Amino acid sequence: MRPQTSIKAAQFTESVIREMSRVCSEHGGVNLAQGFPDFAAPLEMKRAAIRAIEADINQYAVTWGAPRLREAIAKRSSDYNRLDVDAQRNVTVCCGATEAMISAMLAVLNPGDEVIIFEPFYENYGPDCVLSGAVPRYVSLRAPDWSFDKQELEAAFGPRTRAIIVNTPHNPTGKVFDRGELQQIAELCRQHDCLAITDEIYEYILYDDSEHISIGSLEGMADRTITISGLSKTWSATGWRIGWCIASEEITGAIRKVHDFLTVGAAAPLQEAAADALAFDSGYFDQLRVDYTRRRDLLLSALTDCGFNAFTPRGAYYIMTDIRPLTEADDKSFAMDLVRDGGVATVPGSSFYANPADGSAIIRFCFSKEFATLERAARILRRRLS
Ligand SMILES: Cc1ncc(COP(=O)(O)O)c(C=O)c1O
């Protein structure tokens, strides 16, 4: 029999994060692997969803997004991200940032185009390149501040480069790209006539004095940037599958076509509730930041007490840790030992690198969890490792 599966599907494996979650539930551990909140989503947003279902908003929405939600996205992105957004021309609502990213890539990339990706990276970008026929080129972010080398970045741009993926605040490192770094990236995009595809799903989860800047707001970048975000992280609703992308009218036209044939559209009643959620006042976003700062500090102090070399995140909700002070084992065996017998699930660092050896001394902890969950994890870690 000839192979029954495609060459593309053979090029990526099941997510390591899901595997860790499975082992964790088998062993009754605390799951700090997968990046989803284990606490309630905002009550007002949930009530809005119930109202929408009761009002029989149960059929297909406009393929590229319910008008109210697109208006809310346009307003929020103009106010917060300083983007010039028209709801009719520039916004596409998708099934999460995940679908927004693959729709965007399928809309703008041709087979053989090169895409620059900062490494370590969020695990979807590799398979997204495979699915869109693009070739990834990696540029290193280096601990402790996860900065990049400007010359390395310049050298990555070549005649086949079509796009660079920016993810700020960054998963897995917690890096928040500053204005100077984004200006360097923007300059290279303009010079080489490339697009920036920017994943800003953690845009409101910021610590200390860090500031979120959208590369699309920088000079000359409006027409060469695709800005992606969504409901999952800021509104603690990863299962609602609501995301969006903002791009020029020309690019939006292509994204909408791809999106239509991939998924038709995101859940109609949840889009209505999302429109209400995007209109929350600043108190909601301020409280989110206060709560996440407490969660980060709780886990950071436990990890430091246990002897990890933990890199303090400036955004998003992950802590990368160097395990060398604790073990000679590699990331995978250390993470497996840690999760066994009611332990703590983490993500081995190798899953964030093209060459697994580059992440073999790192594991990632997620802290988008109830305080009680984090306290339990901290107790287990202190008992096992101190
Ligand atoms: C950087 C990044 N982008 C996108 C996503 C997924 O977003 P969504 O749930 O909107 O598809 C995640 C989830 O972990 C993420 O970390």
Ligand 1 close to Cβ of residue 96 (< 6 A)? yes
Predicted local confidence at residue 15, as pLDDT:
78
Q: E strands along 270-324, which residues?
A: 309-311, 318-322
Q: How far apart are CA 29 and CA 23, in angstroms?
A: 9
Distance linking the first and last C-alpha atoms of the chain: 55
Q: How far apart are CA 121 and CA 226, in angstroms?
A: 18
- Contact indicator for 151, 127 with CB cutoff of 8 Å: no
101: which DSSP letter?
A: H
Six token digits for residue 32: 């700090």
Strand 362-366 versus strand 318-322 pairing type: antiparallel
364: which DSSP letter?
A: E
Q: Up-side HSE of residue 268: CA atoms within 13 Å toward CB? A: 13
Six token digits for residue 97: 């940032």
Predicted local confidence at residue 266, as pLDDT:
98
Q: Does residue 159 sit in helix, strand or coil?
A: coil
* Separation in Å, CA 336 to CA 27, 82, 373, 374: 11, 44, 19, 19
Element (H, E) at 348: strand 347-348
Q: How far apart are CA 75 and CA 87, in angstroms?
A: 9
**Cα angle 91-95-96, degrees, rounded to a multiple of 5:** 85
- Contact indicator for 153, 166 with CB cutoff of 8 Å: no
Ligand 1 close to Cβ of residue 214 (< 6 A)? no
Ligand 1 close to Cβ of residue 238 (< 6 A)? yes
Q: What is the pLDDT of residues 196-215, one digit of tens each?
A: 999 999 999 999 999 999 99
**Cα angle 3-353-247, degrees, rounded to a multiple of 5:** 85
What single-letter amino acid sits at 173? T
Which atom of ligand 1 is found nearest the CA of 238?
Answer: 9
Strand 225-230 versus strand 91-94 pairing type: unpaired
Ligand 1 close to Cβ of residue 42 (< 6 A)? no
Distance 43 CA to ligand 1 centre (A): 22
> What residue has token string 């099941």?
14
Radius of gyration of the chain (CA): 21
Distance 382 CA to ligand 1 centre (A): 30
Ligand 1 close to Cβ of residue 230 (< 6 A)? yes
Q: How far apart are CA 350 and CA 24, in angstroms?
A: 19
Which atom of ligand 1 is found nearest the CA of 316?
Answer: 16
Distance 293 CA to ligand 1 centre (A): 20
The closest residue, in CA terms, to atom 7 on ligand 1 is 97
Six token digits for residue 36: 């989803």
pLDDT in tens, the chain (386 residues): 888 999 999 988 877 888 888 889 998 999 999 889 999 999 999 999 999 999 999 999 999 999 999 999 999 999 999 999 999 999 999 999 999 999 999 999 999 999 999 999 999 999 999 999 999 999 999 999 999 999 999 999 999 999 999 999 999 999 999 999 999 999 999 999 999 999 999 999 999 999 999 999 999 999 999 999 999 999 999 999 999 999 999 999 999 999 999 999 999 999 999 999 999 999 999 999 999 999 999 999 999 999 999 999 999 999 999 999 999 999 999 999 999 888 999 999 999 999 999 999 999 999 999 999 999 999 999 998 87
What single-letter amino acid sits at 183? Q
Q: How far apart are CA 80 and CA 192, in angstroms?
A: 28
Six token digits for residue 157: 């741009």
- List, in order, residues 6 or more apart from 223 with CB less than 8 Å away: 248
Predicted local confidence at residue 3, as pLDDT:
86
Q: How far apart are CA 56 and CA 268, in angstroms?
A: 10
- Contact indicator for 111, 134 with CB cutoff of 8 Å: yes
CA 138 to chain centre: 17
Q: What is the pLDDT of residues 224-277, one digit of tens each?
A: 999 999 999 999 999 999 999 999 999 999 999 999 999 999 999 999 999 999
192: which DSSP letter?
A: T
Predicted local confidence at residue 16, as pLDDT:
81
Ligand 1 close to Cβ of residue 122 (< 6 A)? yes
Predicted local confidence at residue 14, as pLDDT:
76
- Contact indicator for 221, 204 with CB cutoff of 8 Å: no
Residue 169, preceding peptide bond in cis (omega within 30° of 0) = yes
Measured from the Cβ of residue 50, the count of other Cβ atoms closer than 10 Å reads: 11
Ligand 1 close to Cβ of residue 350 (< 6 A)? no
Domains observed in the chain? 7-41+283-385 (3.90.1150.10), 43-278 (3.40.640.10)
**Residue 122 bridge partners (DSSP):** none
Pocket test for ligand 1, best of 122, 244, 366 (most atoms within 8 A of CB): 122
* Separation in Å, CA 62 to CA 95, 161, 169, 265: 13, 34, 30, 7
Ligand 1 close to Cβ of residue 174 (< 6 A)? no
**Cα angle 317-319-323, degrees, rounded to a multiple of 5:** 160
